Structure 1
Amino acid sequence: MIYAGIDIGSITAKAALIKENRLLGTHVILTGYNPINAGITVFEALLEKVKISKTDVKAIVSTGYGRASVDFADKAMTEIICHGTGAYFINPNIQGIIDVGGQDSKAILLDKNGQVENFAMNDKCAAGTGRFLEVMAKALEVDLDKMGDFSLKADNPSKISSICTVFAESEVISMIARQEKRKNIIAGIHESAAARVAILAFKIKIKEPVMMTGGVAKNKGMIAALEKRLGFELIVEESAQENGAIGAAVLASKLNPI
């Protein structure tokens, strides 16, 4: 049987398919202004990619901030549960997860069976999220995908003291006016964001090994800043951005046991 997971995030929509405890494929698109259309589009695009029909899919679970918009899903489940399930599915040794998405960041602690034991979440402030990095990239006139490369070349990371995205952006603009090196400003941005995320990890006493998930896991500068702050290496899988959708697909398989 084939099962699907659909994760509607604030920036991207992801879909995943599994069959007999094996990942068949994933797909990612921009969510855009219409999460309903995003859910349909990403699901149909994945079906086309793996060359299967909708009728072959036994059950669907949706997750993410727009999970309720996926009205063709059999069930909607929280990102916390789906990210925990997805990480454990990919690597059963995982004990902790750090997920940095577009509008929130999370730290999740798993027990030995892959069940969520504890979690902490920042969904009230953009600091330490993908949106924070997006705002800073715009202020610096840098492609968001290139920020990690700039950051790793820094020789003296700038100090950003503001915890508010608006004030931090003002700090960055002042640094630009003082002609501080762009690579140092970007490294400072990553260190500031990492500090916010690390607070969540320390709060739940996260245990190694820890997997980094979410779209920000593609940012090498953010990974390096987080590892420095946490004091250990993070596991980053190719499917980091689609982890929530993968977990949702695994959970869909449990809705209709064979």
Structure 2
Amino acid sequence: MVTLGIDIGSTTSKCVLLRNGVDIVAKSLVPGGIGTSSPDRAVAEALEKSGLGLGDISYTVVTGYGRTNFKSADMQVSELSCHAIGGRFVFPKLRTIIDIGGQDVKVVSLSDSGKMVNFLMNDKCAAGTGRFLDVMAGVLQIKLSDIENLAAIADKPSSISSTCTVFAESEVISQLANGATIPNVVAGICDSVASRTASMVKRIGVTEQVCMGGGVAQNGGVRKAIEKSLGVPIAYSPLSQLFGALGAAIYAYNKINQVK
């Protein structure tokens, strides 16, 4: 039995094909989210990788911001639920998920049995999100993939105090004009994201095991800064950006088999 999970975010579309609720048959991640052709292209890519067709899919669940715009799925499920299911699948002892996507930050608290018991979401401001990092990288004329290495060689991280992306951009420019090095500014940006995120986590309560999900989870500079702010290790998996799609595929399997 093969199920399909689709996660349509603000900036990327992700798919996971799952066999019998446990084996990942194929996965895809395509830039572009709500209002684009990316969800359909992500599905097509996953099917091509697997050698399967739509007729081979037993059940499809869609999640994420763009779920209501995708009419081909059998069911729509909240991204919070799907991220919890997907995260717990990868990390069986997971209790706290920090999910930083393109436009929002979510913190989800799980019970010992894996049920979602609390959450916080910041979707009113781009500060601390993937969009924030994109803007900062553009100002510094660096690649997002350079952030971890640059932050690692900083000797005096700059203070980036603004929580607004526009004001933070001006602050970064001022730091550079005053002689701050790019590594120190990059480390300051990571610390700024970490401080904002850690305050959200602490409002819920830090219960280990803690992991990161979402696209920003791939950024080692931000992960390490959040670890330092929280004082706990943060688990990471190459599947972290696919938690939503993975959770949706598992939900689809459980729906067919009526697993609660």
TM over 0.5: yes
| Structure 1 residues 210-225: aligned runs within 5 Å | 210-225=210-225
| AA in 2 matched with 1:223 | R
8 Å CA contact retained: 1:108, 1:206: no
Gap regions ≥5 residues in structure 1: none
Measured in 2, the distance between the counterparts of 1:248 and 1:28 equals: 15
8 A Cα contact 1:107 1:206, kept in partner = no
Detail structure 1 runs of 4+ shifted over 6 Å in the superposition.
none
1:164 alignment partner in structure 2:
164
TM-score, normalised to structure 2, is: 0.96
Matching residue of 2:187:
187
Opposite residue 25 of structure 2, the aligned amino acid is L
Deviation at 1:255, TM superposition (A): 2.0
- Could you tell me how far apart the structure 2 residues matched to 1:84 and 1:54 are? 26
Q: How does 1:84-95 map to 2 (within 5 A)?
A: 84-95=84-95
Report the CA distance between 1:179 and its aligned residue. Answer: 2.5
Residue 91 of structure 1, CA deviation: 1.9
1:151: which partner in 2?
Answer: 151
Tell me by how many angstroms 1:206 deviates: 2.7
CA-atom RMSD in angstroms: 1.2
> In the TM superposition, what is the alpha-carbon distance from 1:32 to its structure 2 partner?
5.8
Give the TM-score of the pair, scaled to structure 1.
0.96
Cα distance in 1 for partners of 2:70, 2:59 equals 13
- Inter-partner Cα distance in structure 2 for 1:173 and 1:103: 23
Q: How far is the alpha carbon of 1:254 from its aligned partner?
A: 2.0
Question: Is the Cα contact below 8 Å between 1:190 and 1:225 reproduced in 2?
Answer: yes
Q: Once the two structures are superposed, what CA deviation does each residue of 1:107-146 show, in whole Å capped at 9, x if it has no partner?
A: 1111122110111111111111111111101111111221
Structure 2 stretches lacking a partner, 5+ long: none
Q: What whole-Å deviation, never above 9, does each CA across 1:168-222 have from its counterpart, x for those lacking one?
A: 1100011121231001001000100111111111111131011111111111100
Query: What SS does structure 1 have at the residue aligned with 2:257?
Result: coil
Aligned to 2:135: 135
Q: Does 1:52 align with 2:40?
A: no
Counterpart CA distance in 2 for 1:92 and 1:70 is 30
